[in-house]
Chains A and B, each alone.
Chain A
Amino acid sequence: MISKPNVLDRETQVLMTTVTFLGLVPLTTILPSWIMILSFFCLALKSSHLRFSWSLPHPWLTFSLSLLSAGYFFFSEKDFFRIETLATLLALAGSLNLLRPNRYHHAVLAIFSAVFFLMLHLLESRTKLSIVLMFADLVLILSLISHLHIRDPKLRGLGNVLPSLKLLLTAIPMWLFMAVLFPRVTAFFTIAPSPPGFEGFGGYAESGFSDEIRPGSIAELTLSDEIAFRAWFAKDHPPPSLANMYWRGSVLSIGNGLVWTRSPKLERNQIAIEHLAKEWSYRVQLAPAPSQMGFSPLFLLEHSHSPLLSPPSAAATVRAFQGATFQFSSEKGQDVRYSASVFPDSEIETLDEKTKTGYSRLPANLDQRVKKLAEQIAKTPLPPAFSNLSPAEQTAQRILNWLSDNGFRYSLSSPPLEARDGVGQLSEFLFTTKIGFCEHYSAAFATLMRASGIPARIVIGYQGAALADDGETWVVRQIDSHAWTEIWIQESSGKNNTAGRWARIDPTDVVAPLRLQVGGVFNRLSPWLIAALQGLSSDEARKQISNSWVGKWNGWLMTANLAHTKWEDFAAREQAEFAILKQVRLWHKEFTSTAMPLAALLAGALAIISIALTVRWKNSHRLEQMDLAIWRTFCAQIEKQGFARKPNEGPLDFSRRAARHFPQNSSLICQIGELFAEIHYANLSASERALRTRQLDQLVRQIQRSPSRERISTSTNS
């Protein structure tokens, strides 16, 4: 191609070396030391080649060096699925690349390895210095790129950094535009939420549960397509219906109107986890979400006081609390995988009087209207069908009826509430706006239950899931975030009876039954589609939704995600036991005793041959280069006097012309031209050639030293 240079010029090589150096330096902390030593050795060789015209090692030496280091890398690396491994390989390729002949594709390799070095560095460190380094590196990389492709001498040269800087600055508006726009449709390849302190950087939506809800907090979560976790059900344990798929996360027991928080007091008692021996009803892969004290909620299906859990992995710790919440933390924020079995018909437990009071506490400044409302609701009659329910359940039913009869509406975008505190917001929601999301309804419902004297609490987690194409992976996304309530149902009406059970009541069911039947995707449907779905059975509704574009988009997301899951599964399995590598290591161990000396011998022989080749090649190479270098010095010398060689002029023509132009030095100039032509074009033996080259060198030095040099300049001036 026209634009591609065949051989790179010196400036391009300088840029290549600088860019590689700048990329490698910040990686010193994550790369193995032998790689660093090798890389800097290569860099030093290249720099001395550029600075002092030392020749590079013989291609065979470079080749055997690559072979040896690749072999060593293969045997020494224990884990092939880490970023550090990629970095090691890249560093190896990038630095050995410098020792190779300088062709276009070597420069391309240098460009891309520099870009990836930069990326690896940014994955490791997030300091202000990294950003500065990134800009500096980008400017140099751009210079290298334009250097490779621009022929105009005025735009080349090291001053070329300025256009690159300009280009980079012009790119900023477009970059900002993309950085703001893009995250809204991305982040579906991940299950890891942003690390703490980095939410919102670059326009990212905050994700993950915190330990409280307030109006809008869950609605905001449902804006994200991000994956929360994945689950697989055991073959003999069919998954519950979608409408009953509640993934419990945290329990919030301190109610303050619409704002609910966790109660450290009620969750104080840590309880023992019963470990699952073999059977499991489902398996979950979960990434930690940022949370207090480094612990994240562990999501379990249904409420169960004592689920059976298998330990997720050695790196993770799990703790369970009274109130049936589970938390885990893992090293380095890795994903955890755990299996669990739960018993949907929650078992009987006991609640002492103190705890019961804790679960019935109302905020001190609760609006009197809310208390009156609770009393008023308690008096409303119930249809006879509900007469066999426990008193607590009857109260719950009355409140649900009241909600459905009083024009409450479900909406993701509820009108902003004017009150600043949760209590005021509750009154505003109940008596004025009447539009809310699951957090509004669960908070209002739990508060009304407590006002009626029944212990109640809010549970946050996820409701629903989407089945991926493979038919077995259930994907739970942030879009499925949900809040619901649990009420305490006493076993018998006896005064001192502490036995009872927690029952799940979801007030959202009253205002948006479809939300529970179709899952979180409901929150993305257009109002007219929702209207069209009214009155359909849940199966039909689901079918309709999967035909809509929202459903198609979701399907695509699932497919893309499934591929990712498969890869992660593979990587996780292989990470534990990389079969091929294990085999190789076995051989390695077996043969070490006999093969080691042999390998050492072979490597030694290879090294000696390569060095011998290099020395020979270096000598011949140096001589070849030498005469040309001397000739170029001479031409430059003449050119400084304002007499340039024409591109089509051979050495003889040029020296003759120059001799005519500088009569004082004519014989010397002619001699140099003839000598160079002889060395360069005649077929001389090596010794003769060395002799002539030395002569040429002397002649050129003579012309540099000669007093007639001044005369040369005067003759051009006159």
Chain B
Amino acid sequence: MGKPTIFILPTAFGTLFLTCAIAMILVGSAYQNSLVNLLAFFLLAIVFLAMGQTHDNIKQIVVDSSSIADGYAGGEQTAVITLSNLSAKATRYQIDTRLKRRLLQRFSETSTRISPKGQCRQSLTYTCPSRGLHRETRVRLSTRYPLGLFEAWSWKNIELPYFVYPAPIGDRPLPEAIPALVDSMSNTFEEKGLDQEDFHGHRIFQLGDSERRIDWRAFARGRPRLVKEFKGSHQALTNRDLNWNSLSDLAPEARLSQLTRWVELALAQNLRFSLTLPGVRVAPGSGHLHATKCLECLAVFELPDHGSKLP
């Protein structure tokens, strides 16, 4: 691997500073004033030193690991980038990170120094691009340390795929629940009622969960609010089909948005649902994994470039 190219240019402030130094040299020689020249040369020397220091400050910095969580189109996306300082002696200061061609980037977590052989994590928030499977390929590291006279930057290659789901917009109610196909057993469960269901395990409380199902005893012991889960709970017996065809009066993107909204709602209420899109069907299910699968299908729906790259 060759050394990465480091670019360096003076900032606006640096240009002003340099101009000031040159003007001072002219004044010094016009008035034949050696002290003014001395001052001007000091300013120049500082410019040159700062140039070297800014350049050195970005040397031997590598992107160690990075991750981006999936997000919704138009929402905010956070990329977490870990930088490593390979130098065994020098501390690096104020390395700023930017993703290539992403708008409105800002740090939600900044770090100001990376000690020798150390690491730092930066999380970068920016506006999500349009839906689909995206890939961040380049990250720009830049620094203006120590005097802000110069900005040095270099580009690092990364490989960071992530999904951007359609924006969850839509005010239609969830489709009606349809009894599941496993009819033969349904009656027996009905008779048993809630209390007789088999205790299956705990999961973290989510908005929309019934208060009656919270394990208050566990909560009293200082544990977070947990919800008791039962095998074959009542809701599991019904299924809501989130169907593309049921939204025929909407534009395609609006349909996707509405479907995404439904997936969100169903997940929040821990409902059982299936997703039907032209040519794609996700079988009934519930829980995060299932929802993620549905959302991914929605994200890449009818995007020919991404369809084949689905993980």
List the interface of chain A (C-beta within 8 A of B). 2-3, 108, 112, 115-116, 118-119, 122-123, 126, 130-131, 134, 138, 142, 145-146, 148-155, 163, 167-168, 170-172, 174-175, 178-179, 182-183, 186-190, 192-195, 198, 201-202, 204
B residues in contact with A153, CB < 8 Å:
112
- A115: B residues at CB distance < 8 A: 20, 24, 39, 43
Select B148's contact among A149, A170, A171, A188, beta carbons within 8 Å.
A149
Residues of B within 8 A of A201 (CB): 34
> Quick one: which of A2, A171, A192, A198 contacts B42, CB cutoff 8 A?
A171
User: Is A192's CB under 8 angstroms from B37's CB?
Assistant: no
Q: Which residues in B have some Cβ–Cβ distance to A below 8 Å?
A: 13, 16, 20, 24-27, 29-39, 41-46, 48-50, 93-94, 96, 107, 110, 112-113, 144-149
Per CB-CB distance, the 8 closest pairs between chain A and chain B, nearest first, are: A149-B148, A171-B45, A152-B112, A202-B34, A174-B45, A122-B35, A201-B34, A175-B45
A3:B148 contact, CB within 8 angstroms: yes
Q: Quick check: A190 and B146 within 8 Å, CB to CB?
A: no
Set B27, B35, B50, B93: member contacting A130, Cβ < 8 A: B35
Which of A123, A175, A187 has its CB near the most chain B CB atoms (within 10 A)? A175
B35 touching A2, Cβ below 8 Å: no
* Minimal beta-carbon separation of B84 from chain A (angstroms): 18
The A interface is mostly helix, strand or loop, or mixed, namely: helix
Contact B45 A145 (CB under 8 A): no
Other A-B pairs, 17, CB within 8 Å; known A131-B35, A179-B41, A190-B30:
A3-B144, A145-B149, A149-B144, A152-B93, A152-B112, A154-B113, A155-B93, A167-B49, A167-B146, A168-B46, A174-B49, A178-B41, A187-B29, A188-B29, A192-B31, A193-B32, A202-B34
A142 to B47 Cα, complex, angstroms: 11
The answer to whether B147 touches A142 (Cβ under 8 A) is: yes
Q: Chain B residues with Cβ under 8 A from A131's Cβ?
A: 35
Are B16 and A112 touching (Cβ within 8 A)?
yes
Taking a contact as CB atoms under 8 Å apart, the answer to whether B42 and A122 are in contact is no
Q: Bound complex: CA of A194 vs CA of B25, how far in Å?
A: 15
Q: Which residue of A lies closest to B91 (CB)?
A: A152
Contacting pair B45 A186 (CB below 8 A): no
Complex Cα spacing A2 to B151, Å: 11
30 chain-A/chain-B pairs, Cβ below 8 angstroms: A3-B96, A108-B13, A115-B20, A119-B39, A122-B33, A122-B36, A122-B39, A134-B38, A146-B148, A150-B145, A151-B94, A151-B110, A151-B112, A167-B46, A167-B50, A167-B146, A168-B42, A168-B46, A172-B45, A174-B48, A175-B42, A178-B44, A178-B45, A182-B41, A186-B29, A187-B29, A189-B26, A198-B34, A201-B34, A202-B38
Contacts A192-B31, A202-B37 known; A186 to B43 CB distance under 8 Å?
no
Closest CB in chain B relative to A168 CB, distance in Å? 7
Report the bound CA distance from A475 to B6 in whole Å: 47
Report yes or no: A170 in contact with B49, Cβ–Cβ below 8 A: yes
Report Cα–Cα, A193/B96, bound state, in Å.
50
CA distance A3 to B33 in the complex (A): 36
Bound CA span A145–B112, Å: 17
Nearest CB in chain B: distance from A127 CB, A: 10
The answer to whether B34 and A204 have CB atoms under 8 Å apart is yes
Contact of A194 among B32, B110, B112, B147 (CB under 8 A): B32
Q: Which one of A126, A182, A194, A204 has the highest number of Cβ atoms from chain B below 10 Å of its Cβ? A: A182
Residues of chain B within 8 A of A204, CB atoms compared:
32, 34
